[in-house]
Amino acid sequence: MAKGFLPVTMDEVRERGWDAPDFVYVTGDAYVDHPSFGLAIISRVLEANGYRVAMLPQPDWHSCEDFKRFGKPRLGFLVTAGVIDSMVNHYTVARKPRSSDVYSPGGEAGHRPDRATAVYCNRIREAYGSVPIAIGGVEASLRRFAHYDYWDDRVRNSMLVDSCADVLMFGMGERSVLAVAKFIEEGRDFSEMRIPGTCVMSREVPEGFLEIAPMEEVARDRRAYAEAFKAQYDQQDPVRGRPIAQKHGRRWLLQNVPGLPLTRAELDRVYALPYMRAWHPMYDRLGGVPALQEVQFSIAQVRGCFGGCNFCALTFHQGRIVSSRSKESIVAEGRKLTKLPGFKGYIHDVGGPTADFREPACAKQLQSGACPNRQCLFPEPCRNLRADHREYIEILRELRELPGVKKVFVRSGIRFDYVLKDSKSGFLGELVRHHVSGQLKVAPEHVSPRVLHYMGKPEHEVFEEFVRRYKQANRNAGMDQYLVPYFMSSHPGSTLDDAIQLACYLKKSGLRPEQVQDFYPTPGTMSTAMFYTGLDPRDMKPVYVPRDPREKAMQRALMQFYVPANYALVREALKKAGREDLIGWGGDCLIPPYLRRKPDAPERGKPGKQDRGSSASGSSKPGHRQAKPAEKPRQAKNRPRRTEQSRQNIARKSEKNTKS
């Protein structure tokens, strides 16, 4: 028996003196008992409240036999696909299979099925019939309504329907899983469940529920889909949100109101539970679970995000009301990290969805909820926004003063427009001096005003102002650190002209991103609704969507125009957009008229190096001549003469050496 871990075999169940577990927790991830993994938090919360939980990580889904490992549980099964959606885990945005899985032992792919939540539940039904099943996690949470599925390119049923589960838990599940456990223990009818943060099926619609277009209608009418999504998005608030009903066939999907964020005291208790902070020892011989390495010496200190980026599912999953842990709780976890095997003095991150959000955006959110049809930071910060980093600074200072701590980094990302709004705390200077690991990652995402509007991101000038202040903060500290911005291609609204505008900015700024991100239409985001419907759900106006794989490849290649392998795609894009002026030897040109080496030859210099705090004021290298497209290099005509002269020089040197 692996001491400290929850049982993973029936022998371990018996060693604990149990005749059967209350719940069998089925997960598509390997078993890692660390608070960065939802399966660890939910299982420990249940354990702390007296429930017996057995873990069934990555079961063999090809038959129902592995699901019988513990026999029939006393109360039921809990099922999750894992930390991320199983389809995102398996496939790239180009729908190509991924070769690895960091949430599996040894990073090996193939340990979970596509649409894992539904597959696991159907095997459980095959094994035990009507045993209670509750599903949760990101995959279930973001697929709780009829939703567009990028991989099938069609609208699919709610995951609750396809899985044949009894209840779906969405959002943060600590409160809801305990309420669901009690509900199951009481033997009540699931259609009567009104627990916040849950969905159930019913034959009728209770009073007070907001009816949206049924599954059959949103599957055939894209405008109806956009309107239904907007209603779901508007009601995603635990204070003012209404429960929602959506018909699937003869039954109704009932979404109860979202659950309130955990209080600071509740969060502190959750993170104080006795996690092993390690993968289960059964994975040692396989090389462990790679995902743990990224978070093992990091601290999650906040939940929720009022940033409201349209391509992000946080609004639909964790919500817009931010909650955070106390300073005492975070510092106590820092002390634990210093005593872990392998700790070398570095706390890798103190953050969350957005590292520097610690409080609700304004005082009224907890009383009135987040404002409908308004964002806290877009198109510009709300006048009621409270931007104050003082408590966060105090936490970081106390952590870096702990014995054994050499450095405390902030790596999970900051919101640069929120930093600019804070004019009192001096956070940026503190961050630059003590908490940047040589480079700071930020996400402006694009430079085109049109694309930024559809993304829900601030104007490009806001980012430029942040760049200026970041450079100044580095100068004040006597430091020279990189700024690494993330950009996205092919987002709804982005045309080839917009992609070229971004490429020109990258050229002028001297930025060469090592990795680029193509927009990935995942369930539960405003941008995915735009991608599928061609409409902006906010105003129902048409929006251009780059769906053609060739155009998407061109937009992606433009972000790395300097890579020889992208030359043909970039040239095609520039010609298609009528921008042949950017093909040539001039300083403003993106590519030359022809390649001087083979496309697969390595590029000179260090790839991906960022201009240190550069803004768009950088200039291109001098000395390039303008040449006609078909002209060969002038020196090619003189090459035989120079070669012969070189031979004569070598001969003379050889003769001189022989005489000496």
Residue 619 pLDDT level (bands cut at 50, 70, 90): very low
Torsion of CA 342, 347, 351, 356, to 10 degrees: 180
The larger pLDDT score, comparing residue 149 to residue 308, is at 149
Question: Over the stretch 549-608, which tens digit does the pLDDT of each residue have?
Answer: 999 999 999 999 999 999 999 999 999 999 999 999 999 999 999 987 655 544 443 334
Would 259 be classed as within a structural domain? no
**What's the total number of domains in the chain?**
3
Residue 440 pLDDT level (bands cut at 50, 70, 90): very high
Distance CA 652, CA 644 (A): 13
Mean pLDDT value across the chain: 91
Give, as one character, the DSSP assignment of residue 9: S
Task: Average the pLDDT over 367-388 and give the result.
Answer: 92
pLDDT on residue 413: 83
Domain with 134, as residue range(s), is 10-198
Q: The domain that contains 120 carries what CATH number?
A: 3.40.50.280
The larger pLDDT score, comparing residue 551 to residue 366, is at 551
Could you tell me if 514 and 376 lie in one domain?
A: no
Angle at 544 between CA 542 and CA 546, to 5 degrees: 150
Grouping H, G, I as helix, E, B as strand and the rest as coil, residue 320 is: coil
User: Alpha-carbon Rg of the chain, whole angstroms?
Assistant: 28
Task: Average the pLDDT over 181-208 and give the result.
Answer: 97
At which of 405, 435, 465 does a domain end? 435
Would 81 be classed as within a structural domain? yes
Question: Which helix (H) or strand (E) is 325 found in, with range?
Answer: none
Contacts of residues 642-649 at CB distance under 8 Å and 24 or more positions apart, as own/partner, are: none
At which of 384, 408, 435 does a domain end? 435
Task: Average the pLDDT over 357-368 and give the result.
Answer: 92
Grouping H, G, I as helix, E, B as strand and the rest as coil, residue 557 is: helix
Could you tell me if 184 and 310 lie in one domain?
A: no
Exposed e or buried b per residue across 394-403, where buried means at least 16 C-beta atoms within 10 angstroms of its C-beta:
ebbebbbeee
What does each C-alpha distance from 610 to 432, 447, 514, 522 come to in angstroms? 17, 17, 9, 30
At which of 198, 230, 245 does a domain end? 198
For 143-249, strand residue ranges (E) read 147-149, 154-156, 167-169, 198-202, 210-212, 244-248
The structure tokens listed for 158 are 């709610």
Would 149 be classed as within a structural domain? yes
- Give residue 86's identity as a one-letter amino acid code: S
Mean pLDDT check: name the lowest of 301-305, 369-373, 394-398: 369-373
pLDDT on residue 366: 86
Query: Does the pLDDT value for residue 213 go beyond 50?
Result: yes
Could you tell me if 607 and 622 lie in one domain?
A: yes
pLDDT on residue 617: 34
Query: Does the pLDDT value for residue 201 go beyond 60?
Result: yes
The structure tokens listed for 295 are 């978070």
What does each C-alpha distance from 40 to 20, 117, 468, 555, 563 come to in angstroms? 20, 17, 42, 40, 42
Q: The domain that contains 303 carries what CATH number?
A: 3.30.750.210
Could you tell me if 410 and 518 lie in one domain?
A: no
pLDDT on residue 600: 55
Could you tell me if 382 and 504 lie in one domain?
A: no
pLDDT on residue 611: 38
Whole-structure pTM value? 0.88
The structure tokens listed for 324 are 């955070």
Query: Does the pLDDT value for residue 609 go beyond 50?
Result: no
Distance CA 610, CA 511 (A): 5
Question: Which helix (H) or strand (E) is 455 found in, with range?
Answer: helix 449-455
Would 163 be classed as within a structural domain? yes
Distance CA 428, CA 421 (A): 11
Question: Over the stretch 453-483, which tens digit does the pLDDT of each residue have?
Answer: 999 999 999 999 999 999 999 999 999 998 9
Could you tell me if 406 and 462 lie in one domain?
A: no
Could you tell me if 420 and 509 lie in one domain?
A: no
513: exposed, middle or buried (C-beta count within 10 Å: 0-12, 13-18, 19+)?
A: middle
Could you tell me if 327 and 382 lie in one domain?
A: yes
Distance CA 58, CA 82 (A): 9
Could you tell me if 391 and 455 lie in one domain?
A: no
Residue 515 pLDDT level (bands cut at 50, 70, 90): confident
Task: Average the pLDDT over 68-74 and give the result.
Answer: 98
Question: Is 311:491 a contact under the CB 8 Å cutoff?
Answer: yes
